[in-house]
């Protein structure tokens, strides 16, 4: 039986972001100016975002602990994004080290843990703008849309796995968001229009490094990917 639990949403979002950092930030960029002009990069992001329908990819998320100066947790799986009307939906299937399914749709965050057959549901409708700016950053909103939530700096170019990328650093404009995540760094592969790597920094010096591979753009994704597969015995907690 479902039950309701009072919860501080900022704390929930912070915890959720440790599970799934910036949720794939696959920024739709077709190319960037060699001159490093930020306005040119943002304009090209806008043009590519207008064509966005879906994106899916494999991911590896590594949590770095500043105190021990090492990686303390690594998760692997597959992530999906799609546009439905004006909404961007996200689903992440974590397969290692333990199965978990994360879904963001219709103003709700759902976290399903098969090992205990439990779903935690978080109502994000009152904080939708904040959630979307982090979880689906860059999907459909374009470069200039991103400027509503972040101050963006162009840091030049850098090679990631032999591929030249444009490097952007984002600082949240919201003080509440900044208290949890002071800044975010993105590495954008201009040749394919996606972000190959993201780094989410926390106030204590820890960070989560996300890397993506086998990226597929605008390929049809079944509706079932964005729906939980539960039973009458599944415990649901509404937060």
- Tokens 């690594």 correspond to 74
**Share of residues in the chain with pLDDT > 90 (%):** 26
Radius of gyration from C-alpha coordinates of the chain = 17
Segment 51-80, tens digit of pLDDT: 888 889 899 989 998 888 888 889 999 999
Segment 90-131, tens digit of pLDDT: 899 999 999 999 998 888 889 999 999 999 998 877 776 666
Query: In terms of DSSP H, where are the helices of 25-170?
Result: 38-49, 128-135, 142-146
CB–CB of 108/124 below 8 Å? yes
Segment 136-147, tens digit of pLDDT: 664 556 778 888
pTM of the entire structure?
0.80
Which positions ≥6 away from 112 have C-beta within 8 Å? 100, 101, 102, 103, 118, 119, 228, 230, 234
pLDDT of residue 5: 43
Segment 25-58, tens digit of pLDDT: 444 433 444 434 788 777 777 777 788 888 898 9
CATH number where 134 lies: 2.50.20.10
CB–CB of 173/149 below 8 Å? yes
Q: How many structural domains is the chain composed of? A: 1
Q: d(Cα 106, Cα 112) in Å, to the nearest integer?
A: 16
Structural domain that includes position 8: 3-238
């Amino acid at each position: 039986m479902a039950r309701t639990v009072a919860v501080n949403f900022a704390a929930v979002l912070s915890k959720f972001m440790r599970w799934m950092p910036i949720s794939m930030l696959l920024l739709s960029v077709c190319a960037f100016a060699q001159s490093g002009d930020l306005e040119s990069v943002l304009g090209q992001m806008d043009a590519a975002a207008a064509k966005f329908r879906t994106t899916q990819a494999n991911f590896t998320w590594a949590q770095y602990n500043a105190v021990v100066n090492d990686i303390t947790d690594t998760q692997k799986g597959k992530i999906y994004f799609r546009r439905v009307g004006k909404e961007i939906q996200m689903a992440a299937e974590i397969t290692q080290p333990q199965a978990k399914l994360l879904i963001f749709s219709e103003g709700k965050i759902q976290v399903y843990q098969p090992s205990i057959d439990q779903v935690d549901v978080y109502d994000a409708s009152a904080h939708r703008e904040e959630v979307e700016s982090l979880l689906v950053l860059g999907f459909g909103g374009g470069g200039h849309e991103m400027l509503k939530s972040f101050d963006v700096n162009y840091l030049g170019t850098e090679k990631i796995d032999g591929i030249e990328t444009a490097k952007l650093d984002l600082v949240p404009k919201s003080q509440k968001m900044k208290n949890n995540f002071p800044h975010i760094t993105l590495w954008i592969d201009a040749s394919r229009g996606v972000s190959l790597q993201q780094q989410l920094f926390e106030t204590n010096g820890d960070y989560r490094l996300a890397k993506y591979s086998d990226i597929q753009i605008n390929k049809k994704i079944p509706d079932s990917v964005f729906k939980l597969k539960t039973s009458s015995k599944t415990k649901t907690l509404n937060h």
